[in-house]
Amino acid sequence: MWNCSKISIENKESEKFLEMQASCRLEYQSPQLQCWIVARQRYIIFISSMRHIKMNDAEKLEMTKRRINNLRLGNISLLKLSMTQAVKNICSYDVGDLEKLVKSTEMLNAPLFLEKIFEAFMNLKSTERQMPSANDFEKRLRVLSYLLSVRSNVETIEIGNGLLSFCPDSSKASNCLKVAQMISNSSLTETISTLIIDVDLSHIRPILIIEEMVESICKLGKLKKLEIYSFELAYSHVKRICNSLPELKILFIKFLHDKFPDLNDIEDVKSTFSRLEHLGFPCSMSIIIPSAERYRQLKDFCIRHLPNLEFISTALYPRLSSCKEEHLPLAPSSLLGLQINYPGLPHLHTLFPSLWFLKINWVNTNEVDKNSLPRFTKIQQLFLRNVHSRKSLLDLLDVYGRNMTELHVLPRPGIVITLDIFTILNFCPKLERLCLWETTIEDPIPISNFANLREIHILFYNNRPPSKVDFLSTILAAPGLVHVNLFLPHDCLDAIDLNLLGLYISRKKILQNLVHLQFGIRFTSPEFEYDAKIMEAFGNFIKSASALLPKLTNLQVIYLFNDNVSRRYLGNFVRRYGRQAAIRDLGAVVTDWLNDPNLKLFLEAYNPRCRNKKSGDAINPTVYVFTGGNIFDTGFSDF
């Protein structure tokens, strides 16, 4: 047998050997040759990874740009590029050109291509260089009229901030009605199953929907889903819509604050909403208190009297007002999501047998009594709010964790809970998404064998971890991770751990399926002090991830500054360069402060338009600096 430890391979050996080895079946070789091949393959991979480690910033940036361009080009077909170009220029077409376009879609034998053109036309937004004008919008209405006259299978239409972005603000409401009327008078009334009206009318006060719009909606007899966010409706309008659309299952609307249904007329309201499965009626944060009470009463009515509803309001977890008899359903409810206070009623599972999504809010500091918990058997998502102890959390996981795919943990304010992530995964063997607020990890061990985990969120917005965050290189070893979101105090990061992340990435040991990476850093020092080694390790990690992770398409870095940091440092920059320049260039300024000006070039490769947000007041200003983005959210012309 060959002694593999004595095998010598020149550094100049190329990866062509790996291609050759892939072409022959390893199991058909002799044991000695198998051993030699494996050793040689591992050595070449190691040499390749060492080259990645030694790459300078310029080489990593070039690899980043090449990888991103390949991903973007691979994500879009020539057919789609042609369609995009045609839609951008569609207003310059006459009727003959439009007929040729429609005929060409038939010749292409591409399923639903005409429907995709219609969708792209409705969603196309004006650019900053295109001033909205009445003439331009009239041209687009003529194109819309032609597209509506062509026989197609369009099922979903959104009247929103795409098409309506081409008309002046002063005429958006009237043009929204005009588009709705055109759709309701077209041949699409037999195919449309979803209508969404979401036009930005924030420049005017909330307006009541007019009868002509209601009449147009009622003509869409096959409608199954209706969402209206641009107008407020009276109950009389909602009743008419529900009675006119026998197949309607999903309804999201805004009630006019003094035009709610009369909940004393129980049978009337039940008959109006009885066929619905989803009913949403969002309550504005600025709503007056008496109206907010009406929203709560309507929600309670739905829970008690409408057993077919699966979702109520826009919240995934509508709150059960209390466990009193008047707030409980009269018959077993079909609700899939619910929010309850702990302690609740042990028999709630008999009233809500279908629950998938459960949110539990602690109203006291009592420990969990497992015998008092309702035995919901289908829980897939669990959100725990105001958790006050590790024991209570683990007791809940023991009861609900078996089928759970998503877990959110938010401790009581001022409390940091420490968890053993391996214990969590043992309680929840099907867990795919783990979100931990103000919660840290103890005794981390690599979870490279836990293939189900897809998302990890570890967020410290207010508190500080009790010790250094030196566990990232272990918990990010789950092989199936596609989404990672971290937000941590800068001085709690560990330079050695960050360097290990970069090393493991270069050796292709972790995050090979990662698509979305968001890393936020919170600075709290009043003198803007920072650890140079930490920030250097952080920058190197981001650069290695950008260059070497094969599937990464969304990379974002967020810097959060508050208190004296904002006033002293960012304030000086605003005064020196002017407010607009400062807001535009904050991303570059921050990376310069951190002595890593090259980092901004990597982030701009994902999205050259940096996003910055300022909030707070003169006493407690806060500045968020967003850099990076999603490569598929940016047009080719931006690169």
Q: Which of 574, 563, 411, 544 is nearest to 476 (CA)?
A: 544
Q: Per the domain annotation, does 437 fall within a domain?
A: no
Q: Does one domain contain both 259 and 164? A: yes
Q: Does one domain contain both 192 and 307? A: yes
Q: Does one domain contain both 201 and 262? A: yes
Inter-residue contact 207 to 241 (CB < 8 Å) = no
Q: Per the domain annotation, does 449 fall within a domain?
A: yes
Measured in degrees and rounded to the nearest 5, phi and psi for residue 490 equal -60, -45
Q: Does one domain contain both 308 and 327? A: no
User: Where does a domain end: 252, 287, 314?
Assistant: 314
Q: Does one domain contain both 41 and 134? A: no
Query: DSSP 3-state assignment of 457?
Result: strand
Q: Which of 531, 522, 541 is nearest to 461 (CA)?
A: 522
Q: Per the domain annotation, does 78 fall within a domain?
A: no
Q: Does one domain contain both 330 and 253? A: no
The per-residue pLDDT for range 101-143, each reduced to its tens digit, is 777 776 766 667 788 888 889 998 887 777 788 888 999 999 9
Cβ of 203: how many Cβ atoms within 10 Å? 9
Q: In this predicted structure, what is the pLDDT of residue 255?
A: 86
Q: Does one domain contain both 477 and 567? A: yes
Largest CA distance in the chain: 89
Q: Does one domain contain both 493 and 554? A: yes
**Burial letters 320-349, b for 16+ CB under 10 A, else e:** beeeeeeebbeeebbbbbbbbbbbbeeebb
Q: In this predicted structure, what is the pLDDT of residue 18?
A: 38
Q: In this predicted structure, what is the pLDDT of residue 493?
A: 92
Measured in degrees and rounded to the nearest 5, phi and psi for residue 297 equal -65, -40
Cβ of 105: how many Cβ atoms within 10 Å? 21
The per-residue pLDDT for range 50-77, each reduced to its tens digit, is 555 568 889 999 999 888 888 877 766 6
Number of H helices, E strands in the chain: 22, 19
Beta bridge partners of 485: 457, 518
**What's the domain range around 449?**
444-639
Q: Which of 386, 344, 382 is nearest to 365 (CA)?
A: 386
Sheet holding 278-280, edge to edge: 156-160, 194-198, 225-233, 250-255, 278-280, 311-312
Q: Does one domain contain both 164 and 263? A: yes
Q: In this predicted structure, what is the pLDDT of residue 590?
A: 65
Q: Residue 464 to residues 12, 84, 346: CA-CA distances in angstroms? A: 49, 48, 36
User: Where does a domain end: 296, 314, 332?
Assistant: 314
Q: Does one domain contain both 495 and 517? A: yes
Q: List, in order, residues 6 or more apart from 218 with CB less than 8 Å away.
A: 240, 241, 244, 245
Inter-residue contact 415 to 432 (CB < 8 Å) = no
Q: In this predicted structure, what is the pLDDT of residue 93?
A: 80
H-type alpha helices, 401-494: 421-427, 472-475
Q: Per the domain annotation, does 432 fall within a domain?
A: no
State the total domains in the chain: 4
Q: Does one domain contain both 283 and 139? A: yes
Q: Per the domain annotation, does 83 fall within a domain?
A: no
Q: In this predicted structure, what is the pLDDT of residue 239?
A: 95
Inter-residue contact 259 to 230 (CB < 8 Å) = no
Q: Which residues of the chain have pLDDT under 70?
A: 1-54, 75-79, 106, 108-111, 205-206, 283-291, 314-317, 443-444, 525-529, 562-595, 608-639
Q: Per the domain annotation, does 458 fall within a domain?
A: yes
User: Where does a domain end: 73, 107, 132?
Assistant: 73
Q: Per the domain annotation, does 277 fall within a domain?
A: yes
Two tokens, residue 41: 């393959």
Inter-residue contact 292 to 283 (CB < 8 Å) = yes
Looking at 455-574, which runs of residues are DSSP E strands? 455-459, 483-489, 516-523, 554-562
Distance, in Å, from the CA atom of 524 to the CA atom of 565, rounded to the nearest integer, reads 7
Q: Does one domain contain both 169 and 306? A: yes
- Kindly report the CATH number assigned to the domain that includes residue 235: 3.80.10
Q: Per the domain annotation, does 508 fall within a domain?
A: yes
Q: In this predicted structure, what is the pLDDT of residue 88?
A: 80
